[in-house]
Structure 1
Amino acid sequence: MSNESPLIQSLRTAVAAAPSDVPLRLHLAELLLGEGLSDAAVAEAAVALQHAPGDSAARALMVRAMGMPAAAPDTPEAPKAPEEPAAPAAPNGFDWRAAEDEIGGAVPPRFVTSGTPETPVPVDGQGVPGDATTWEVDTPGSVTLADVGGMHEIKERLEAAFLAPMRNPELGRLYGKSLRGGLLMYGPPGCGKTFIARAVAGELGASFMSVSINDVLDMWMGNSERNMHEVFETARRQAPCVLFLDEVDALGAKRSRMHHGGMRNTVNQLLTELDGVDGANEGVFVLAATNVPWDVDIALRRPGRLDRTLLVLPPDAPAREAILRYHLRDRPIESVDLGKLVKVTEDLSGADLAHVCESASERALLDSTRTGTVRMINMKDLLAAAKEVRPSTDPWFASARNVAMFANEGGVYDELLAYLKRKRKL
């Protein structure tokens, strides 16, 4: 660039401002060729041909820039036997294959091949059917149940009902226990069901795959069922794998309430995949989460499917302390009494506690902007924020109370009923 004349530099600026102006670009190429900068002229002519493939002036300039004589229009060259298939020669006899090789590193190709028989083309933009990369699968993570603050009762139930048999495959084989399983977690929103699912995957040293209705549902008939099948196929290929079905009430809603055949078929497909005919689900551990278990199709909770249930309640005192400590770890705080803060945040969910810390930060920030003096977040800010935040779990318990009292067939919600009595929410 330093050897270029001021005129050429000015023209380069003009071309950069109007990249699709072919005559202007060709004028720049002519000047470059006149200065002996053939390679630069070839690059500009190639870009011009991208914008105007049939432009005769651009073709002629390309020929001159590459120093290749053009054949006379009325005297075609004698045909030669090519060593490999070549593109038809242009009317002026210019060798476009050689030109492409010459400028291949200067400009990108105008067309690319989207797929070959050896490389299947993605379907509906969702990836190659049957390919493990179609769905996002996380490698075994470092998060385990030890990273879940408090919730000792939940951890013990997970260990006894789910984790212990999976960790001991030899004992499982001795007692005829299959290395598969299903667990339905339910409870109010924002209480850590997804985090627990990831922790279970970490405990098992398994891959983790999270799926929601957005990943499965498709507007075209049959695609939703196919997507559901591909989800399970991917999990089977990645075994051992924890397959987490988020908001399973949407993926497996009660079919008796459905009037649309497409969704009924999707639920049927989910049931079929959970059955895992001929042991296909060995090493696939299905965890599902929902806020409304009473809306989940009863067939999903049949033995052999999501046959174990775990109630995930608002965090207890040790869990609240761990959550508050986590959300305050990178914030400037002073004289914070976590014990007192834990007491005044009873019944708040994990999401509520995060909001308390965020609101306290906003208070300190606004006060600093008003006074012009930067100060730390203190206990006064946190207590004021905690007083303003109402438990987001209250509406859920209002709905769950009616279910636990009047629709507790077979004692499915006995644990929830006991909690409501203990908290005097009945």
Structure 2
Amino acid sequence: MSDESPILRSLRAAVAAAPADVPLRLHFAELLLAEGRNDEAVAEAAVALQHAPGDADARALMARAMGFPPTAPQSPATAPQSPVAASEGPVAPAPAGPPVFDWDAAEQQVGDLVGPRFADDSGSGLEDPLAADGPGNDPGDVSAWDVDAPGAVRLADVGGMQEVKDRLEAAFLAPMRNPELRKLYGKSLRGGLLLYGPPGCGKTFIARAVAGELGANFLSVSLSDILDMWIGTSEKNVHDIFETARRTAPCVVFLDELDALGAKRSRTHHGGLRNVVNQLLTELDGIDSAANEGVFVLAATNVPWDVDLALRRPGRLDRTLLVLPPDAAARDAILRYHLRERPIESVDLPKLVKATEDFSGADLAHVCESAAETALLDSARTGHIRMITTKDLLGAAKQIRPSTDPWFASARNVATFANDGGMYDDLLAYLKKKRKL
């Protein structure tokens, strides 16, 4: 239909949106007939007759599309006379009219073009309303959720951050890779892993790297994927997501922004959100069951203190990992990545790495972008292309305040005064090391 005129395309879309609009469908059929597309016009007229049986305009259009001569309207002289009129005197015989249109034959000819309006296996003439979506459109079907195949990203692709990698290996990856040792030492696989820390520091990237290390599929879930206006649908979405993970195991389910998905129920006034947390707890409780073999749950949040405590109970998201701003090695790798395709000259990378302490990965990308903008504007003003220099990068870094500072300001109070059960001991140790307490 690439050669179809714009008006036909528009009318085709309009008819698809309002299939019961008979005048609109007949107008569309008229245009098809005018362009010589008789078969399509016949099909449209037949559908119109299904919606409006006996419609004279639809019958006339179908007759013309099938090549039958038009039926002329009968004049008073040729119209059949009543018995009373016939008794008044002889009347001249009416001239032979056009042949009568055979509707039964016409319906047989278009039967293979237009299917019945209602059909089912039982012959009752009613369709199952739940079957209208067809296979593959059910929310619980695998195709309803975007499951990424095992990626090539590994922990080796994460620059620096060796302490994070070591803790991931000890707390999560080593038991997964060595089932016999896990069984020997009674190491349980119950529960999941919660990544927390300031925004823009690579929690999602690390989660993908973990999936790559495990050779597992990756299913990322956010609040917009789950919440629905209809009662009960949000909880069903949570269940369907975990069912999808079970069918595509091994699979990592990544719950992004867990503070939105699993906010503290005591502070939540919306009943739907509380029900989502309850359903999430139910799914997490089954992580160690046989049906959930090969399903690994990772979650990320910037504000772990806003996450419902029940989600962090043993057997659920009971292991936590603090993801801090990139260390020197990581900053070096990130800066090299963002400068790799830009024109640079004699950049003192060690000096720049030192000047960007506490910067997040997003902050470092912004530094490179700002430095490139400065060089571009100078080139536009002078008419001479110049390279990005250390001065440009250091100037950009000086103007940008680390986005992690506000996070640490909030986290400091929580770690100091609400460190129940040593939940934030690793954060306290970091703050003391950096003398931020």
> Of 241, 248, 263, which aligns to 2:258?
248
TM-superposition CA deviations, 1:336-383 (whole Å, max 9, x none)? 221111111111000101111111121122222222223332222212
Check conservation: 2:218, 2:254, Cα contact below 8 A.
yes
Partner of 2:308: 297
TM-superposition CA deviations, 1:173-229 (whole Å, max 9, x none)? 444445554111110000000000000000000011111111112222222211111
Distance change (3 Å), C-alpha of 1:421 and 1:122: farther
> Of 171, 194, 203, which aligns to 1:161?
171
3-state DSSP of counterpart to 1:280:
helix
Check conservation: 1:122, 1:129, Cα contact below 8 A.
no
Partner of 1:262: 272
Q: Residues 122-137 of structure 1: matches in 2 within 5 Å? A: 122=133, 127-137=137-147
Distance change (3 Å), C-alpha of 1:224 and 1:379: same
Distance change (3 Å), C-alpha of 1:178 and 1:70: farther
d(CA) in 2 for partners of 1:290, 1:339: 31
Q: Residues 224-243 of structure 1: matches in 2 within 5 Å? A: 224-243=234-253
Shift of 1:52: 7.6
> Of 301, 316, 331, which aligns to 2:327?
316
Distance change (3 Å), C-alpha of 1:206 and 1:17: closer
Distance change (3 Å), C-alpha of 1:372 and 1:52: farther
Q: Which amino acid aligns with 2:150?
A: P
Query: Is 2:135 aligned against 1:139?
Result: no
Partner of 1:409: 420
Distance change (3 Å), C-alpha of 1:27 and 1:58: farther
Distance change (3 Å), C-alpha of 1:182 and 1:45: closer
d(CA) in 2 for partners of 1:294, 1:249: 8
Q: Residues 186-225 of structure 1: matches in 2 within 5 Å? A: 186-225=196-235
d(CA) in 2 for partners of 1:384, 1:264: 48
Check conservation: 2:201, 2:362, Cα contact below 8 A.
yes
Unaligned residue ranges in structure 1 (runs of 5+): 1-11, 33-39, 75-89
Size of the alignment, in residue pairs? 384
Shift of 1:66: 3.8
> Of 349, 354, 367, which aligns to 1:356?
367
Distance change (3 Å), C-alpha of 1:364 and 1:14: closer
d(CA) in 1 for partners of 2:10, 2:270: 53
Distance change (3 Å), C-alpha of 1:121 and 1:381: farther
Query: Is 2:185 aligned against 1:185?
Result: no
Distance change (3 Å), C-alpha of 1:96 and 1:158: same
Distance change (3 Å), C-alpha of 1:15 and 1:253: closer
Partner of 2:86: none
TM-superposition CA deviations, 1:280-318 (whole Å, max 9, x none)? 322111111111111111111111111111000000011
3-state DSSP of counterpart to 1:383:
helix
Partner of 2:281: 271
3-state DSSP of counterpart to 2:219:
strand
Query: Is 2:275 aligned against 1:287?
Result: no
Q: Residues 93-104 of structure 1: matches in 2 within 5 Å? A: 93=104, 95-96=106-107, 98-99=109-110, 101=112
d(CA) in 1 for partners of 2:102, 2:368: 74
Q: Which amino acid aligns with 1:259?
A: H
3-state DSSP of counterpart to 1:95:
helix
Check conservation: 1:258, 1:264, Cα contact below 8 A.
yes
Distance change (3 Å), C-alpha of 1:51 and 1:378: farther
- Larger displacement relative to structure 2 (299-308 or 151-160): 299-308
Shift of 1:121: 4.5
Check conservation: 2:245, 2:295, Cα contact below 8 A.
yes
Partner of 2:429: 418
Shift of 1:23: 7.9
Q: Which amino acid aligns with 2:390?
A: M
Check conservation: 1:139, 1:207, Cα contact below 8 A.
yes
> Of 336, 339, 364, which aligns to 1:328?
339
Check conservation: 2:245, 2:253, Cα contact below 8 A.
yes
d(CA) in 1 for partners of 2:269, 2:169: 40
3-state DSSP of counterpart to 1:303:
coil
d(CA) in 1 for partners of 2:367, 2:248: 39
Query: Is 2:53 aligned against 1:42?
Result: no
Shift of 1:120: 4.1
Check conservation: 2:344, 2:389, Cα contact below 8 A.
yes
Q: Residues 345-384 of structure 1: matches in 2 within 5 Å? A: 345-384=356-395
3-state DSSP of counterpart to 1:150:
coil
d(CA) in 2 for partners of 1:122, 1:220: 18
Unaligned residue ranges in structure 2 (runs of 5+): 12-23, 75-100, 120-125
Q: Which amino acid aligns with 2:355?
A: V
Shift of 1:58: 7.0
Query: Is 2:161 aligned against 1:151?
Result: yes
TM-superposition CA deviations, 1:15-64 (whole Å, max 9, x none)? 7799689789859956x7xxxxxxx3515745985998788567546545
d(CA) in 2 for partners of 1:339, 1:368: 26
Q: Which amino acid aligns with 1:203?
A: E
- Larger displacement relative to structure 2 (143-152 or 336-345): 336-345
d(CA) in 2 for partners of 1:14, 1:136: 34
d(CA) in 2 for partners of 1:162, 1:399: 28
Distance change (3 Å), C-alpha of 1:356 and 1:91: farther
3-state DSSP of counterpart to 2:292:
coil
Q: Which amino acid aligns with 1:150?
A: G
Shift of 1:170: 2.8
d(CA) in 2 for partners of 1:130, 1:27: 42
Distance change (3 Å), C-alpha of 1:111 and 1:52: closer
Check conservation: 1:42, 1:62, Cα contact below 8 A.
no
3-state DSSP of counterpart to 1:376:
coil
